[in-house]
Amino acid sequence: MPPRSYGRNPTRVQRLAACLLALLFAVAPAVSVKALERPVKIVVLGDSLSAGFGLPMNEAFPAKLAKALDAKGIGVVVVNAGVSGDTASGGLGRVDWSVPDGTDAVIVELGANDALRGVDPTITKNALDKILRKLSDRHIAVLLAGMRAPRNMGPDYTRDFDDIYPALASTHSVVFYPFFLEGVATEAKLNQADGLHPNAAGVDAIVARILPRVEELIGRARTARGS
C-alpha cells in the first residue's frame, strides 16, 4: 500500500484544518494592529453635570461614556476632571493642570453655573474662548458641549448666553454638541430631586445622545496622532 500523502488525498479534517489556518492568517494582522492601538485618552473638563454630583463615581458621565465606548470596541481612557460649582472662568484657571500631557481629546462642559449665577455672557464666552485656544495650541481635539440659560433669566440674557456656544463653534475647529442636557433638562424622571442634576437614567440619556459626536471626536484625535 503506497504511503498516505496529505498533498494527494487530504481528508475532511485536514481540509478543515487548512481552511481554519488560512482564516487565522487572514484575521491575525488586523487583530494584532488593534491590540497594539493605544487607547484614546479623553479628559472631561466640566462642572457638576459631568462630575457626577449626587451619584456614585461609576454612574457619572465619564464612567458611563467609557463603558458605552468600550461596548462598541473603542479603546479609550476617560478622565473625570469635573469640579462641582465650577464656572467657565474656573475651568480656564485650571485647564493647564486638569488636562495633562498625553491627553488626546477634551470634552469641554462648562457654563451652567455661569448662567445660574447670571454671569455676564461676555465673561463666559471669553473664558471658553481662551480654553479652546489653549487646547488648540496643544493640538488636542475638542468637543464643545453647549449650555442654555434658564428661561427665567429674561429674554436678553437668555439670548446672549445661548449664542455663546454656536459662536465659538463657528470660530474654532471643534466637534460641537449644542446642548449637553438635551432631552434631559426639565424631565423630572431623568433628574435628581433638585431638578438640576441628572440622575443615573439621565446620564444614560446624555451618553446615548452625545455618543456619535464623541466618536467623531475620537476619529479626529486618532487622525491628529496618526493612529
Return the active site residues: 48, 194, 197
Question: How many other C-beta atoms lie within 10 A of the C-beta of residue 109?
Answer: 29
Contacts (Cβ under 8 Å, ≥6 apart) of 139: 224
Classified as helix, coil or strand, 183 is coil
- DSSP strand E in the chain: where? 40-46, 76-82, 105-109, 141-145, 175-177
**How far apart are the C-alpha atoms of 201 and 199, rounded to whole Å?**
5
**How far apart are the C-alpha atoms of 140 and 48, rounded to whole Å?**
23
Q: Which three cell numbers stand for residue 35?
A: 491590540
Please provide the size of the chain in residues.
227
Q: Does residue 174 contact residue 180 with C-beta atoms inside 8 Å?
A: no
36-57 burial by CB neighbour count: b if 16+ within 10 A, else e? eeeebbbbbbbbbbbbbbbbee
